[in-house]
Amino acid sequence: MLMYAQCDGVVPGKIFSAPGRIIAVAYNGLFLPVPLGLINTLTCSVAGEVITLNFNTQVGDRIYALCVPY
């Protein structure tokens, strides 16, 4: 089963956690690419259920994950 859920973390901030194994990450409704040598783009890295952004979020931003819940 997949779920699309809001991630926990402090805004502004860079590190968020999801309620399961992450498949994809969305920032304010737009899916973020995994870095593949892209420069000057908003990207993230994922390890298990932890998301690390390459930018700081701002008040009002939302981070969601498409994930497989545990």
Bridge-based pairing of strands 44-47 and 8-9 is: unpaired
pTM attached to this predicted model: 0.87
Confidence of residue 28 (pLDDT cuts 50, 70, 90): very high
How far is the C-alpha of 65 from the C-alpha of 19, rounded, in Å? 9
Q: What is the pLDDT of residues 56-70, one digit of tens each?
A: 999 999 999 999 998
Nearest one of 31, 4, 32 to 19, comparing CA atoms: 4
Q: Is the pLDDT of residue 38 over 70?
A: no
pLDDT at 33: 82
Q: What is the pLDDT of residues 44-59, one digit of tens each?
A: 889 999 999 989 999 9
